[in-house]
A and B are shown apart, each in its own frame.
Chain A
Amino acid sequence: MADAAVRCLRDGRLDGEHAPALAVQGSLHCCPLAARAMLHLAAAVASNAAAGKAQARGLVVVAFDRSPEVYLDFMRRSGLDSNALGRCVRILDCYSDPLGWKQNIRSQSHQEDSGTPCSTNKDNITIFRSVKDVDKLLCSIIDLGRGFEGESKTYFSVAVDSISSMLRHASLQSISGLLSNLRSHDQISSILWLIHSDLHEPKFSRAFECLSTMVACVEPEGVDSVYGEDRMGNISFLEHNYSKAKFHVRLKRRNGRVKHLYEELRVEGYEVKFLSASSLSMEVNQSLLPKVQFNLELSEKERTDRANVVLPFEHQGKGEPIRIYDGRRSLPEAQQDPDLTKTALLDETKAPKSATAKGEIHYIRDSDDERPDSDEDPDDDLDI
């Protein structure tokens, strides 16, 4: 579930542990949707940071696949104003000039400004020019993250888009080294990355799954498409796949429990929507209810009658005080001491009444975005 994943990213790391990491996996069949989901998640992390709700003070986006403007544009549309963007978002631009060709050309034509490996024209975009050097990339990310203002120790989140492009320039070992270094760095609160799973051998995406605490798979809704064996046949499937997809999330919890969540991802215009599986199954149930000729519904009277039926296991006191064995006294004792039993029983019958008159329940919810009846395990954080 997107919300659950975003909550985990927002809450960040505990002292002495690795930062939570989310891997977003997409394939060619629904790659625009996976990229959208990534943009959405990054924007959600950034807006949490901007609102001060998150552990992180800001987000560093490492942009390989899309120009930084796309991120800024998307974040603006999702409600971040320019002030918040300037304060909480830094973009390491590995898109514009990944190998330094442009800079070489410029330095050949005029001799000046050749000594700036990371130049910026806007205050929150930094151009990075040697993507093959993974160590330098790590340093640049951390340097950018240190730039966020805050007291003493500031945390920040990192979004990498995408690992697949990085893998073209560096080896699997060095990239996974980079990610685990980032995760273990004590200022990084959370990290998320996008990987196109069908561009690599399966072992590559598994290796990155192992590094993550959460995996979000964007899978096509329909089965096959233009690129499959049935080439031209199912055009409508493809059309379908580009507007919605399945969004599977696997959360690894601290105590080792693994939770699977399933949602439907829809893109409508600029918006990315996540429909929960429960509402989906409701729709299915309603449509699956068989159409029969006789009436399956109960009338109002039938319903009240049914509610009044006393079932055999229910207490049938018929006006007398109900004797409930409370476990404190054994029965022979009670017979020996009739007075005591009487008072005890009286207490027993009175107590509930007084309780309803006096009692109050004070309940303060932990946080606003958590539903009171959510299926979150309250003891989940216990380390037993």
Chain B
Amino acid sequence: MEGYGGGGDLLSEAMCSGARVVVVEDCVDAPGAFVLHLLLKRALAGGGGGGAALLALAQPFSHYDRVLRKMGCNLSVHRKSERLHFFDLQSFPGGTSGGGIADSLAQLYNGVRRAVEANMAKESDGRFTVMIDDVSLLEVAANGSADDVLDFLHYCVTLTSEMNCSLVVLVHEDIYSSEDGVGLLLHLRYIADLVIRAAPLSTGLAADVHGQLSVVNKGMMLSEQRLAKGQKVWNFHFKVKENGTEFFYPGSRH
């Protein structure tokens, strides 16, 4: 039951290896950034030579560096060895007033694509992970134009089907809960193979449980492993710690 260390046993069990597009939804009461940290650590860990590109709009590099160091993963070293490509987008689109936002996003896509290709060129068989933290801020940077953001995301999704690459995206669910409905969130849920949703405990606050995580495996990719798994919906509790996260089934802890 105790699962932490290698990125959380329950979570990795629930996440099929075939999932190409992962959407992490969180809310103010239960931030889901820890899922990104776990996935980033997993992407960089191991000798497989996997790499990652982190498109950071929410936090500066020093933040990720400190958090991941506590978890036993040195981002600075990875960044130097070019296994981690860090895109600091806190001031995106950075005053490039020449073209529209679509051009900036196309440039950004170009950068990501080059990072993926560079990793592929190393002939490593590890999988590359493109991570966006977070899409809601990307939408803000695009002046609220969800269509441009979706175009960008679509291009990132095409990377996953062309190369050995996966896309992990964080989105704040509760800022889309208004009536308009036809927002970025629904589109994201459609393109996702796997939805990980962090929510506060439905039974109220508790000292040793920080919230619950549901994993919905909705992909229709016709891959074998996925079918063998069978179970598509998982639900369990989590507790975030300094150096990792514990996942456990409801009621399995005292």
Contacts and interface: CB of A to CB of B under 8 A. Distances in A.
A96 interface: yes
Nearest to A243: B232
A201 B150 CA distance: 18
B161 A269 contact: no
Interface string A189-205: 00000001011110000
Interface string B107-144: 00110010000000000000000000000000000000
Contact of A231 (B202, B231, B233): B202
Nearest to B228: A269
Contacts of B154: 98
A232 B214 contact: yes
Interface residues of B, number: 35
A242 interface: yes
Nearest to B193: A32
Contacts of A269: 227
B222 A242 contact: no
Interface in A221-240: 226-227, 231-233, 235-236, 238-239
Interface in B130-181: 147, 150-151, 154-155, 158, 161-162, 181
Interface stretch (A65-73, A174-182, A299-307): A65-73
Contacts of A200: 182
B69 interface: no
B222 A270 contact: yes
Interface string A69-93: 1100110010000000000000000
Contact of A242 (B155, B181, B186, B218): B218
Contact of A235 (B187, B189, B214, B221): B214
B235 A101 contact: no
A138 interface: no
B216 A199 contact: no
Of the candidates B147, B151, B220, the one having the most CB atoms from chain A within 10 angstroms of its own CB is B220
A235 B182 contact: no
Contacts of B218: 31-32, 242
Interface in A249-296: 269-270
Given A104-B106, A231-B199, A232-B214, A99 B151 contact: yes
Given A28-B190, A168-B147, A235-B235, A69 B161 contact: yes
A36 B222 CA distance: 10
Given A168-B150, A269-B227, A199 B182 contact: yes
Contact of A239 (B110, B150, B186, B233): B233
Contact of B232 (A99, A105, A164, A242): A242
B83 interface: no
Contacts of B197: 226
A362 B216 CA distance: 58
Given A226-B214, A239-B233, A101 B190 contact: no
A24 B113 CA distance: 34
B219 interface: yes
B245 interface: no
A97 interface: yes
Contacts of A243: 232
Given A101-B155, A238-B233, A239-B233, A232 B212 contact: yes
Nearest to A169: B147
Nearest to A74: B222
Interface in A74-129: 74, 77, 95-99, 101-102, 104-105
Contacts of A77: 222
A198 to B, nearest CB: 7
B189 A105 contact: no
A32 B219 contact: yes
Nearest to B181: A198
A50 interface: no
19 contacts: A67-B161, A67-B162, A69-B161, A96-B158, A99-B151, A101-B110, A104-B106, A105-B113, A168-B147, A200-B182, A231-B199, A232-B199, A232-B214, A232-B235, A233-B202, A235-B214, A238-B233, A239-B232, A269-B227
Which 7 pairs from chain A and chain B are nearest by CB? A32-B220, A67-B161, A239-B233, A101-B106, A238-B233, A235-B233, A242-B232
Interface of A: 28, 31-32, 35-36, 67, 69-70, 73-74, 77, 95-99, 101-102, 104-105, 164, 168-169, 196, 198-201, 226-227, 231-233, 235-236, 238-239, 242-243, 269-270
Given A28-B186, A32-B219, A238-B216, 5 more contacts: A199-B190, A232-B199, A233-B202, A238-B233, A239-B233
Interface of B: 102, 106, 109-110, 113, 147, 150-151, 154-155, 158, 161-162, 181-182, 186-187, 189-190, 197, 199, 202, 212, 214, 216, 218-222, 227, 231-233, 235
